Structure 1
Amino acid sequence: MPTPRRAVPAVLLGALLLAACGTEKSEAGGGGDGGGGDGRVARATLCPSQQQYGVLPSADGPDEATPTARPSGTPSELPLPPSDGQGDEEVRVTGLYAWGPGSGCDGVDYSADFEVTNNGPEEATYSITFAFGSSGQGMEPIERTVEAVGAGRTVKGTVVMRDLPPAEAPTVDILSTRSVPTAEVPTQSGPCPKSGMHVYADRGDAAMGLRVVGLHVVNCGEETLEFNGYPELELFDEDHEKVTGVRILEGTGSISTGLGDDTVRPVSLAPGEAAQAQLSWRNTTEFGDPVNAPYVRVRAAPGDAPVMVTPELDLGTTGKLGVGPWQKDENYRAPETEAPATP
């Protein structure tokens, strides 16, 4: 296997921002079960004003960087089905609300409060998929990201469903929870990581039991990056335990023909250029216990900073994962808002 060599600039542009939609972020600070100060956390602003929300000011005084609560109407509290109220060890739904006429919040039908507790040893970022249901009909899943939850901390948030048909007994379920170390969160664009590159996985493709997911690396720094070989991979199960007994094969040809060229060639990425590599596997299940590895720790080249992606590897009982070599992505175009790394 050829040995990659590459140059890495050491810079970090800006910081992750709290988005008005779809993202929570814990704040550093005092104790309690919230993000900071005395632990009190504001209810989300649910009306279409798109106001941000977060931790209430602590007793020591307001924090200008922390959004405060704003009135958002008065909902009707609904009973939680027993299963919904239990959740799991990391994420649980704590409240379910109906926002009808007169609630002061047009355009919102239901909302659910939730808590995220990080029981791990290091700060983690969570991706949670919720599903509201109405009259036995499931609705489109809603994905939320909760950033930078410290070890042993609990962060609260709210998820909203609009345009849900009326129901006598609406429900909300947690379909999945994924968490990765904050230091290893993949990025596709935005501020350039210290490594000088964005590393991420796409949503992939599945047909007749064959799975294909693309790994991508984008040079967002100021120096040329050189690759010559394969990304380095480690597989982890749902409990973040390392998966053993799976052969990681160089090349995808042994998984399926026609997936691409497995020839290893030197790849040189100037700033703004990108490369890609394929992961491929089959989910065939025969004798034995099927293996599922939702998490993959990726190093673009040996010695690089790791990035944890979640391609949801359902390897069945095949015991094999094919990985293709890095190849230049000639079709990549950087987003117009892409910002290069600066000292």
Structure 2
Amino acid sequence: MLPLLLLAACGTPPVAARSGDITLVPTVEAPGCPESGIAVSALEAEAASGLRVLSLKAVNCGTEPRTLTGYPDLRLLDADGRPLDVRVLTGAASAEISSVEAFTAPPGDVVLQPGATATTAVLWRNTYDDVSQPPQVGVRIDIAPVEGAPRQTFTPRLPPNGEPSRVDSPAVTLDLGSTGRIGVAPWKAQ
């Protein structure tokens, strides 16, 4: 007998199907409101002289106010879904990559009412100076809006000309080269 796998659609949570002693849970990147009540997506990207910045947007898609404190908890995943070995530098520590005022601002609490948004950003350099190791390229972001909150994973996609992001928008890769580090800015009300 072939295992049955049910896929979720229209924001419905994935349904697990059982096959013998193995529970199969589909991995679906679907729109909707994650368990944390905060949906995170890419907002815009900038690149100059090897320095890269990707802005992220958090939307309170739930029905209750949510508080974002400090910095998001993020990991970068490679094309196979494995976490990259990357040091995440928050706030002033990101000056190790580049001194950017928005990244060194002190963190605080951002209270988001339903429908409200906040932003953060990640900063890295595309420098490759260690030919003994392959370059590190993040293709997906695994993020919790705050440490300990439920995580969500997404492919950062940026549409052309400031249009709303869609599933078929071009993907942005986080091309770290051999630097092994990424900076994270504190949450900021938008």
Deviation for aligned residue 1:281: 0.2
| Alignment of 1:247 onto 2:87 | yes
After superposition, give the CA deviation of every residue in 1:39-94 in whole Å (9 maximum; x if it has no partner). Answer: xxxxxxxxxxxxxxxxxxxxxxxxxxxxxxxxxxxxxxxxxxxxxxxxxxxxxxxx
Identity %: 37
Q: How does 1:312-331 map to 2 (within 5 A)?
A: 312-329=173-190
Residue aligning to 2:136: 291
Q: Is the 8 A contact 1:186 1:307 kept in 2?
A: no
Total equivalences in the alignment: 152
Higher helix share: 2
Q: How far apart, in 2, do the equivalents of 1:326 and 1:186 lie?
A: 24
Unaligned runs of 5+ residues in structure 2 are: 1-8, 12-23, 157-172
* TM-score relative to the length of structure 2: 0.70
Amino acid at match of 2:186: P
After superposition, give the CA deviation of every residue in 1:260-292 in whole Å (9 maximum; x if it has no partner). Answer: 153111111112211111101000111232211
Say which SS state the counterpart of residue 95 (structure 2) adopts: coil
Residue aligning to 1:176: none
Q: Are residues 192 and 233 of structure 1, via their aligned partners in 2, closer, same or farther at CA, if it must alter by over 3 Å?
A: closer
Deviation for aligned residue 1:122: 4.2
Q: How does 1:145-294 map to 2 (within 5 A)?
A: 181-182=27-28, 185=29, 187=31, 191-244=32-85, 246-251=86-91, 252-261=94-103, 262-288=105-131, 289=133, 290-294=135-139
Q: What is the CA RMSD across the aligned residues, in angstroms?
A: 2.6
Q: How far apart, in 1, do the equivalents of 2:115 and 2:37 lie?
A: 11
Q: Are residues 223 and 194 of structure 1, via their aligned partners in 2, closer, same or farther at CA, if it must alter by over 3 Å?
A: same
Deviation for aligned residue 1:186: 6.7
Amino acid at match of 1:327: K
Q: Is the 8 A contact 1:238 1:293 kept in 2?
A: yes
Amino acid at match of 1:214: S
After superposition, give the CA deviation of every residue in 1:113-168 in whole Å (9 maximum; x if it has no partner). Answer: xxxxxxxx642xxxxxxxxxxxxxxxxxxxxxxxxxxxxxxxxxxxxxxxxxxxxx
Instruction: Report the structure number with the largest CA radius of gyration.
Output: 1
| Alignment of 1:16 onto 2:14 | no
Residue aligning to 2:146: 301
Deviation for aligned residue 1:259: 5.0
Dislocated runs of 4+, deviation >6 Å: none
Q: Are residues 304 and 280 of structure 1, via their aligned partners in 2, closer, same or farther at CA, if it must alter by over 3 Å?
A: same
Q: Is the 8 A contact 2:143 2:151 kept in 1?
A: yes
Relative contact order (alpha carbons < 8 A, sep ≥ 6): 1 or 2 greater? 2
Q: Are residues 295 and 328 of structure 1, via their aligned partners in 2, closer, same or farther at CA, if it must alter by over 3 Å?
A: same
Deviation for aligned residue 1:203: 4.3
* TM-score relative to the length of structure 1: 0.40
